[in-house]
């Protein structure tokens, strides 16, 4: 099987059947919308239709306006259409993390070159939402409550291993987020021995929200980290 076929099979089998804390809903675009399945099949067939190994980036979990809609991590509908040239029907979504990631991709040499070497997903490949007191649905992270972390712990462990088995290098894993996500991944890695090294990078959302004026410094940092890992294999 090609890398693309393995990822498509992995996404289609994703299903969390455990109990979640009250007020938390899981997002599974591959079960909820036929369009997300079609999009991700087109995306991975376009960029991953080979048997090359890739370095893995693990984010936190998908958000409502990126992977939660398109089925492709860190790819909102605007980037999907404008850069990947894959059709999307419906209200366009804008996710700051996707904006930054695709600026990195452009600086790396474009989508085809980037995805030839890198596979992006998350510690928890399915996302979560919660409802605020005024009825607004918001993104929720796996680490936002101890109860949720405990509920999805085994699911996370299982799916990190499955993502390695797609054909991911284990010498270096990149972690999006150098706070709680990094801490959790390091703890897991100490227990399970998934990767030789973990390189934590500031989360794209953090950069766009708090460090936008120095964005280029972070783009350069990302590119240098990726080049070093790629050059070592």
Residue 201 belongs to domain with CATH number: 3.40.470.10
Residue 78, both tokens: 């605007």
> Domain tally for the chain?
1
Give the β-pairing of 197-201 and 168-176. Answer: parallel
Q: What distance in Å separates the CA atoms of residue 28 and residue 8, rounded to the nearest whole number?
A: 14
Give the Cβ contact number of residue 119 at 10 Å.
23
Phi, psi of 100 (to 5 degrees): -65, -45
Give the β-pairing of 137-140 and 127-131. Answer: antiparallel
Please give the residue range of the domain that contains residue 68.
Answer: 3-231
Enter the pTM of the model: 0.94
pLDDT of the chain, 233 residues: tens digit per residue: 999 999 999 999 999 999 999 999 999 999 999 999 999 999 999 999 999 999 999 999 998 888 999 999 999 999 999 999 999 998 899 999 999 999 999 999 999 999 999 999 999 999 999 988 888 889 999 999 999 999 999 999 999 999 999 999 999 999 999 999 999 999 999 999 999 999 999 999 999 999 999 999 999 999 999 999 999 76
Residue 35, both tokens: 């369009």
């Amino acid at each position: 099987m090609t890398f693309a076929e393995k990822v498509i099979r992995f996404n289609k089998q994703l299903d969390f059947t455990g109990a979640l804390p009250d007020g938390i809903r899981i997002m599974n675009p591959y079960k909820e919308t036929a369009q997300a399945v079609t999009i991700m099949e087109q995306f991975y067939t376009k960029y991953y239709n080979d048997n090359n190994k890739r370095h893995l980036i693990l984010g936190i979990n998908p958000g409502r306006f990126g992977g939660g809609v398109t089925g492709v991590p860190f790819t909102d509908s605007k980037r999907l259409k404008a850069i990947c040239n894959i059709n999307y029907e419906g209200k366009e979504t804008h996710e700051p993390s996707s904006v930054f990631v695709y600026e990195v991709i452009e600086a790396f040499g474009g989508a085809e070159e980037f995805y030839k070497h890198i596979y992006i997903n998350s510690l928890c490949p399915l996302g979560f939402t919660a409802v605020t007191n005024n009825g607004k649905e918001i993104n929720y992270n796996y680490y936002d409550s101890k109860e949720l972390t405990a509920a999805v712990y085994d699911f996370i462990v299982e799916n990190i291993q499955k993502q390695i088995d797609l054909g991911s290098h284990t010498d270096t894993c990149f972690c999006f987020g150098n706070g709680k996500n990094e801490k959790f991944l390091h703890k897991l890695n100490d227990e399970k021995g998934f990767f030789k090294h973990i390189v934590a990078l500031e989360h794209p959302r953090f950069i766009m929200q708090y460090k936008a004026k120095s964005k280029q410094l972070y783009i350069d940092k990302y590119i240098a980290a990726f080049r070093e890992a790629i050059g070592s294999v």
